[in-house]
Each structure stands twice: as structure tokens, then as C-alpha cells.
Amino acid sequence: MRPRIRVSLIVAAVALAAAGTAVGVTLATRTHVPKQRGAAPRLYADPTAPQDIVRDVRDALRAWPSGTVRRLRILTAQHPGSALVRFELGVALVFSGSPDAARAAWRNAERVQPDSPSAVRAEDALHPDAPPGKPPFVAGFARPRTRVERLLAEGIGFQAALRPVSAERVFAAAAQLAPGNPEAQVAAAVGLYDKDRPERAFSRLGPLVRTFPHAQTVRFHLGLLLIYLREFPQAKKELRLAVAEGPRTPLARQARVLLDATRKK
């Protein structure tokens, strides 16, 4: 696939999440880590971080470049469980010309506090060629009416807040409650997606093609996850199959958003 079309498809995946706000789906914007060393690193919002830590990180960044990395390393020792401190340390290390050390800091951010926006942004920084954030589960319903749908909506809310572990847990609860519900089973699979270990999601999502051979949600989310994996030709095949299962449904419209991105302008 041509680079221009590939980029358009990645952008469309992000646009899909934004378009999905009707069902509660949002996706974080890409974590942009400039390579130049001029301006000071910015502070990225993380509601899971205590305010005293946010304040100390902000002060360290404002001191740029005088001792910012040193102060953030001290904060890392003082708050070893803070993904925000480790993520911002990684950004500061990139600004100071130490990309290898930055990657180590970002991996530690993922490890110490995986259920946080900072951990999601760290994963983005480690995988700059993939769409930002986690793949969103896109529900086929507009408003939750059952207990299972309310759980799915809650999981979507956690995804929107960049709380992937919480989303995974809620999706898993929905799947356990409704083993015969394709949306619940798909959501549980999507919630497992990890850019370092995508097989966690695919090993659960793939078999659902046989379990629910005509479930549009299975094909749609297979296509979406394949975009995150940059397997674009197979993603297009799955998205076309999703549209064929119900051309007039909301999921079909979302699938066309992604398919349209592959067309020449």
C-alpha cells in the first residue's frame, strides 16, 4: 500500500473514534514528542495523578533545561508508582537527546501504572507508526438498554478516559455475563489489545468468526484491529465483509469511513 494511502487509513482510524462519540467512543490524540531541543517539554494531563505530583512535574518542566531531567529522576525515586513522572521523564530525555533512555522510561511508565493516560501515551510514544491510543470498541447500540449494554457503555467510558485496564475488566464482566452475545465477546477481545502483544486480542477475536459467522461486529473490529497492526489489505477485506453483513447499520457506516480512506483522491 502506498504511504499516502496508509497514512490516510491511520488518520481515518482516529477519525472513526471521534465520530463514535454518539456511542461514547473517543480516542486520545497522538502523543507528539518533538525532536528539537528548543522549547520546554509540555505537561500532559493525567487525572489519575495526584495533584502534588502534577505540581512537582510542572515545576520540573518549567525549569527546562536547567536540571529538568535530574529533578524528574528524583521524582521517579520519590514516586516509583507514578506513570506520569516516568512518561514526562521520557519526553524530557528525548528533548535532551537520549532516545534510548526515553524508551526505557516509557516502558516503565506502562509497567508501573498501566491503567492511566500516561501509560497509554507511553505506549503511543513507543509505537509511533500505529494509530494513537487503544483500539476503541464501537457498540452497535445508540443507548444501553440491558445490563450487558450498560457494562459495555461503562467500558467505552473507561476507554474514553484512557483507562484500559478498567475497560478490560468491565468488558470481561460483560462477556462472562452474556457468553452468547457477540458484542460482549468482541468487546472483551478488543479490551485485551496491547501494541506489544497484539496476539492477546487476536487470539480471542479471530475464533469469534466461527462462533458468530454473521455478526457484523466481529468483522468490523477485526478490520479495525488490523489497522492498528498495519495489516491494511486484510483490514480492508474484513471491513468489506462487515459492510456486507448489513450495509445500512451504524457499524457499516463506520466501516466505510475506514474504507473511503483507501481511495485515491
CATH topology of domain 51-126: 1.25.40
Domain with CATH 1.25.40.10 in the chain: 3-27+132-260, 51-126
Looking at residue 16, its pLDDT comes to 53
CB 149 within 8 A of CB 82: no
* Tens-place pLDDT, residues 25-49: 233 334 445 444 567 899 999 999 9
Q: Is the dihedral of CA 77, 30, 216, 209 positive or negative?
A: negative
* Tens-place pLDDT, residues 164-191: 999 999 999 999 999 999 999 999 999 9
Looking at residue 38, its pLDDT comes to 64
Looking at residue 192, its pLDDT comes to 98
* Tens-place pLDDT, residues 140-149: 999 999 999 9
Question: pTM value?
Answer: 0.86
Q: How far is CA 246 from CA 97, 227, 243, in A?
A: 51, 21, 6
Percent of the chain whose pLDDT exceeds 90: 80
263 — pLDDT class (breaks 50, 70, 90)? low
Q: Cα separation of 98 and 91, whole Å?
A: 10
What CATH architecture does domain 3-27+132-260 belong to?
Alpha Horseshoe (1.25)
Supply 62's cell numbers: 518549567
* Tens-place pLDDT, residues 149-159: 999 999 999 99
Cell numbers 478516559: residue: 161
* Tens-place pLDDT, residues 7-18: 445 445 544 544
